[in-house]
């Protein structure tokens, strides 16, 4: 429980410093601190209330009706296991549930990790330049059997037979 305010110190804080120092109860630095506290109390309380209001507002994370949310970039990694090698990578831009743009998948067999990272940065840079910096980026994993490049290859084999 907080301490009570001392009415004598509160009254003394409203007086000029010379009068306050002439009083027998004057206690140097302690009195200076109390005077400052009592004089700035309304401002400090207002700042604290404002901070609390801002924290409450920040915690509400609800989309406003009619507000258009930025598109989302989905990176799809084709791999069978979470710790397995990446077979292929594909990027797509999803806006309100619909795929608007898609970067064609590439196979990554024999591609060094540094080149893969550079490719991801390049593609994300281009997409962010086109759709804005505030797009969200999510990752998705699909099995290798669903790789669109491999499926195209199988379609060619079946059509030539």
Asked whether the beta carbons of 106 and 75 are under 8 A apart, the reply is no
Which SS3 state, helix, strand or coil, does residue 74 take?
strand
Q: What is the pLDDT of residue 7?
A: 87
Can you tell me the distance from the alpha carbon of 93 to that of 96, in angstroms, rounded to the nearest whole number?
10
Q: Which of 19, 36, 59 is the endpoint of a domain? A: 59
pLDDT of 91 reads 92
Does residue 77 share a domain with residue 131? yes
End-of-domain residue from the set 59, 80, 103:
59
Which residues of the chain have a pLDDT value below 70?
Answer: 54-67, 154-161
Let me know whether 145 and 91 are in one domain. yes
CA angle 35, 41, 44 (to 5 degrees): 130
**Given this model, what pLDDT does residue 161 score?**
54
User: What is the structure's pLDDT at 100?
Assistant: 87
Total number of domains in the chain: 2
Closest by CA position to 17, among listed 43, 40, 36, 41 = 36
Position 63 scores a pLDDT of 61
**Same domain assignment for residues 126 and 55:** no
Supply the range of the domain harboring residue 134.
72-160
Q: Which residues contact 38 (CB under 8 A, 6 or more apart)?
A: 5, 9, 10, 13, 14
d(CA 13, CA 39): 6
* Beta carbons of 108 and 89 less than 8 angstroms apart: yes
How far apart CA 38 and CA 13 sit, in angstroms, is 6
How far is Cα 99 from Cα 115, in angstroms, rounded to an integer?
Answer: 26
């Amino acid at each position: 429980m907080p301490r009570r305010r001392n009415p004598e110190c509160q009254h003394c804080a409203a007086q000029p410093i010379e009068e306050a120092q002439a009083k027998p109860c004057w206690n140097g630095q302690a009195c200076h601190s109390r005077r400052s506290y009592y004089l700035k109390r309304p401002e400090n309380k207002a700042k604290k209330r404002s901070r609390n209001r801002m924290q409450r507002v920040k915690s509400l994370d609800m989309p406003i009706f009619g507000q258009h949310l930025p598109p989302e970039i989905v990176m799809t990694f084709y791999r069978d296991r979470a710790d397995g090698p990446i077979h292929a990578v594909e990027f797509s831009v999803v806006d309100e549930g619909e795929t608007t743009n898609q970067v064609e998948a590439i196979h990554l067999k024999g591609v060094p990790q540094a080149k893969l990272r550079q490719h991801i940065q390049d593609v994300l840079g281009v997409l962010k330049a086109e759709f804005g910096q505030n797009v969200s980026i999510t990752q998705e994993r699909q099995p290798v059997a669903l790789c669109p490049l491999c499926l195209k290859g199988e379609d060619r084999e079946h059509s030539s037979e």
